[in-house]
Structure 1
Amino acid sequence: MKFAVTSRGDSNSNTLMQKIRTYLMDFGLTYDEDQPDIVVTVGGDGTLLYAFHRYRSRLDKTAFVGIHTGHLGFYADWVPEEIEKLVIAIAKTPYQVVEYPLLEVYIRYINGGRESRYLALNECTVKSVEGSLVMDLEIKGQLFETFRGDGLCISTPSGSTAYNKALGGAILHPSIEAIQVAEMASINNRVFRTVGSPLILPNHHTIVMKPVNDVDFHITIDHLTLLHKDVKSIQCRVAPEKVRFARFRPFPFWKRVRDSFISD
């Protein structure tokens, strides 16, 4: 089996990365950064997000497993003290593959003929370069509302515990194939109206955002912030691809939620 290891970059994570690499090679596994069957991330959820985007072209062939060297993560579930246990599991145990839905984002431009496609593991956010964001929102080809406010956040179920939660969105179990749209400080008065609640769209629904005035936007894809000019529309839906996680033991989602937000 071929593997790769990615580190957050701090000294502790780098030391653990070297140990994992040495141990797995001692077990006869092949280190291959270009075409790994499994990627071990050492750091936190941000490190796993980085690895996801690095290997997004081979999501059907690569599985991820994370070790957290800081706070408990939603993707990184192993701790440094368990490195030997994890190495033995990778080398000796057939792992279960758990798949989570992803967000597909298409950005189309006024000049036509070109478009940008992105995959997000957590979320995509859209904000105007200057002033309030004003967007027509179409669901399944029908105008739903004209949004006015600071911005919009479109998240995956696994990303629903991140920025989406801070915006008052619902927490969705990652087994649900859906995306969620949450508002950032919408403007609601006698003149302007939005639904004011998060929207959860199933995998056969598509949402398209069309600019009413501005055409330049700050758009984030997970940890990446991009400036897009002359935007005609932004289309979001559940992606045909999925992210694959290697599971060597149970990793209950609701326990992670409780440990992250409720437990002492």
Structure 2
Amino acid sequence: MSLTSSTVPTVTLSDGEQIPQLGFGVFQVPPQDTADVATRALLAGYRHIDTAAAYRNEAGVGQAVHAAGLQRDDVYITTKCFNDDHGFEQAKRALHASLKRLEMEHVDLYLIHWPVPSVDQYVETWQALIELQQDGLARSIGVSNFQPAHLERIIAETGVAPVVNQVELHPYFQQTGLRREHADLGIVTESWSPLAQGKVLEDPMLVEIADAHGVTTGQVTIRWHLQLGNVVIPKSVTQERIEENFDVFGFTLSAAEMDVITTLDAGDRTGPDPDTFVRP
């Protein structure tokens, strides 16, 4: 698989597959705009796009791959099983529906979007994902927004660990304990809302680091994620920012700068609590 024509490194997952460490997220991109935005991201060099059934824009992602003149195996595609589709048979139907919208025969990564512990069907949903992977409809399977107890339970009950847990993670919410748990279990950490929905961009410490490198605070923050070893999926609809977020391989943060960013952790979650979230 030729995943990138750029300098984006890949991370090896526990199943042996490779995931580009920098991707492009389409959360909150309107469905009617997604094909255009994602096409522009692909033309800027991204080869990893993260969507979800709940975003209602999977069709635009599929259209973008064709519009950019790329082959299916040139692009790493992630989508997700949403909360209303938990359950063994329902989760299997959900992926088939996503593939139809994407106009693809498989996805590279299929995630359970939220654990929804109040419904308590995430274990059987995970069992469905295991079967979907065995059937070749998803090359890799993982989860999103799972807490340590959720991870430990699905592994204990199925014997299969997710390759990825995609969680909210940024300088103000660094998830140190969860990342440690991931490392122990061989799970790759993937960051959503990597810029805290823009809240970190004016931080004085990040501004100082950015000025020292002649880059933006957004680029510093994405570089921080990459140097932690996280997979990161920034999102923008603005061409300048799309390109800027991709241009993060020409500088390196020092150990001292990484330590400074560590001090910014305030436990400041901007999204829902995975222990209680059911639906918007």
The TM-score with structure 1 as length reference comes to 0.27
The TM-score with structure 2 as length reference comes to 0.26
Higher helix share: 2
Higher strand share: 1
Of structures 1 and 2, the larger Rg is shown by 1
